[in-house]
Amino acid sequence: MIAVTDHGPVRELRLDRPPANALSPDLLARLCDLVDAAPEEGARALVVSGSPGMFTGGLDVPLLLGLDRAGMADAWELFHRSMRTLAASPLPVVAAMTGHSPGGGTVLALFCDRRVAAAGPFRLGLNEVSVGIPLPGVILAALRRQVGPRHAERLAVTGALLDALAALEVGLVDEVAPEDEVVQRAVGWCRQLLELPPGAVAATRSEARADLVALFDHVDRAALEAELERCWYAEEAQRILTALVERLTRRS
């Protein structure tokens, strides 16, 4: 589900779960394991990429709707672990957003050091409210950290999906590149960072990102289960999510 390619000291982790690289629990667990293992295996920076035209379509909603409450709690806990793993990685991590990145795709990118988005007819953003799910507090805080309070409120409340240039304008991404250059630009940024004194970079980066990591200090199993009851299992959310899956099933 994830292809590993080393570009010298920069390791690329390419999401590879066709057709949409949907974020299943298995894929998220694999991503966490690869990020955690990378420093000991000699990597000095990471790039998380996707397929041409599709970074990831977000959480695998059809799969998640089929889980019982315990399974869904496990999956929700793993999703938060994925965010924290990216935020706390001792290695710089760049999201190479190679195409569409709605919902969970943009969430993962928020916890990376940098976001490079593909120019073109692709959409990214946090569209949770459009499927009846209030934006979880940790994600809203990360969004506010990235784009500031005013833009965060607008993007979160409306569930807006933006093209890359509009996302760049509000600060949701840091760079826009042609679709076939996104990974190259991400790797290039990592290489530039690695030319700086490593000790100074590591210490400063750790301090600068401490607030992002601290968002998870009070995220325990009980809090996540309570959040699921308020958000995922709310009548409105279940009705909209079920209708969404039915539409997807008919199209396939």
pLDDT in tens, 27-80: 999 999 999 999 999 999 999 999 999 999 999 999 999 999 999 999 999 999
Of 64, 77, 98, whose CA–CA distance to 32 is shortest?
Answer: 77
- What's the average model confidence in pLDDT over 129-148? 95
Provide the mean pLDDT of the chain.
96
Please give the model's pTM, rounded to 2 decimal places.
0.96
Residue 129, pLDDT score: 94
CATH 3.90.226.10, applies to 2-198: yes
- What's the average model confidence in pLDDT over 156-172? 97
Residue 248 has pLDDT above 90, yes or no: no
Residue 249, pLDDT score: 84
Residue 251, pLDDT score: 79
Residue 88 has pLDDT above 90, yes or no: yes
d(CA 38, CA 181): 24
Q: Hunting for tokens 């990429």 — which residue is that?
A: 49
Question: By percentage, how much of the chain surpasses pLDDT 70?
Answer: 100
* The one-letter amino acid at 121: P
Residue 250 has pLDDT above 90, yes or no: no
Which tokens sit at 172? 């949701």
d(CA 233, CA 238): 6
Which stretches of the chain are DSSP H helices? 25-37, 61-65, 69-88, 104-110, 137-147, 149-158, 164-170, 182-194, 198-208, 210-214, 221-230, 235-251
d(CA 130, CA 237): 9
Biggest distance spanned by C-alpha atoms of the chain:
55
Residue 42, pLDDT score: 97
Phi, psi at residue 7, to the nearest 5°? -105, 75
